[in-house]
Structure 1
Amino acid sequence: MTGISDTRDDGAHLATDWGWFLAWLLVGACAGVGLAAILTVGAAFLVLAAVAAVLLIRKGPGRAAVGAVAGLALPAFYLAYLNRGGPGEVCRTVTGGQSCTDEYSPVPFLVVGALLLVAGLAIHAVNGRRGRA
């Protein structure tokens, strides 16, 4: 084969690997939302994540499952966003007065989200290099 077709095959393989990674990222995000909202709609999200994980395990490469780790970062980032005014009591003006809520510090959520995202991306990149080598 020529170098051009090898490059195209490698590019298609790389795109496919990242596609599987993104699919697993969505499964991880769904599971993370399910865990965060376990007292309300969380069970439905966990069931959806489990069904999707079974389908992905049957069809895709197992090494892409690390995307689920990176997916857990998305709910962490959302919790950081929701607590962006914290820590402490945060008051906002609403029609007819004020609404006050207690918020956590967003920093722990940001740190956990960043660590999960970076770890998932790094492990996937290393696994991709090993798979091509």
Structure 2
Amino acid sequence: MRGKVEAVRNDDTSEWGWFLAWLAVGACVALGLAALLSVGVILIAVGAVAAVFLLRRGHTNALVGSIAGVALPLFYIAYTNRGGPGDVCHTTATGSTCTEEYAPVPFLIAGAVLFVGGFLVFLVLDHRRKESR
């Protein structure tokens, strides 16, 4: 009985590991799209290579981790625009700089929906997989 419990626990841990790997792929591709004019092409290529590897080796339920991964760059964009919307000025000892920032709320909401949605879909699929055993 103990061997069976350990096997189930290792399989669950493995499933979460694949989910986190897909989360990283989704974040890499989304960040690549956001930075397409600079390092975006390299990030998209890295994400594509990782996706091919994961499709060959990983659990298919964990693929929804890429949905949650898309949220991470959106959270970063919301954080960097936290002073917006509009012109935001910063003063230092040597001068001041002003930048125009977007409204952070749409990025935050979209990121939260994708992040929570990806986790919920994964949990539902994982629960169904466990029930079918």
Common fold by TM > 0.5: yes
Q: Distance in 2 between matches of 1:88 and 1:25?
A: 32
Q: Distance in 2 between matches of 1:94 and 1:74?
A: 30
Q: Structure 2 stretches of 5 or more lacking a match?
A: none
Amino acid across the alignment from 1:16: S
Identity %: 50
Of the candidates 56, 59, 74, which is equivalent to residue 58 of structure 1? 56
1:90 alignment counterpart: 88
2:67 alignment counterpart: 69
What is the CA RMSD across the aligned residues, in angstroms? 1.0
- How does the TM-score come out when normalised to structure 2? 0.94
Of the candidates 70, 77, 80, which is equivalent to residue 78 of structure 2? 80
Q: Distance in 2 between matches of 1:7 and 1:110?
A: 40
Q: Distance in 2 between matches of 1:50 and 1:14?
A: 25
Q: CA deviation at 1:9?
A: 2.3
2:83 counterpart SS class: coil
2:116 alignment counterpart: 118
Q: Distance in 1 between matches of 2:107 and 2:27?
A: 14
Q: Distance in 2 between matches of 1:31 and 1:94?
A: 35
1:12 equivalenced with 2:14 (yes/no): no
- How does the TM-score come out when normalised to structure 1? 0.94
2:36 alignment counterpart: 38
Q: Structure 1 stretches of 5 or more lacking a match?
A: none
1:90 counterpart SS class: strand
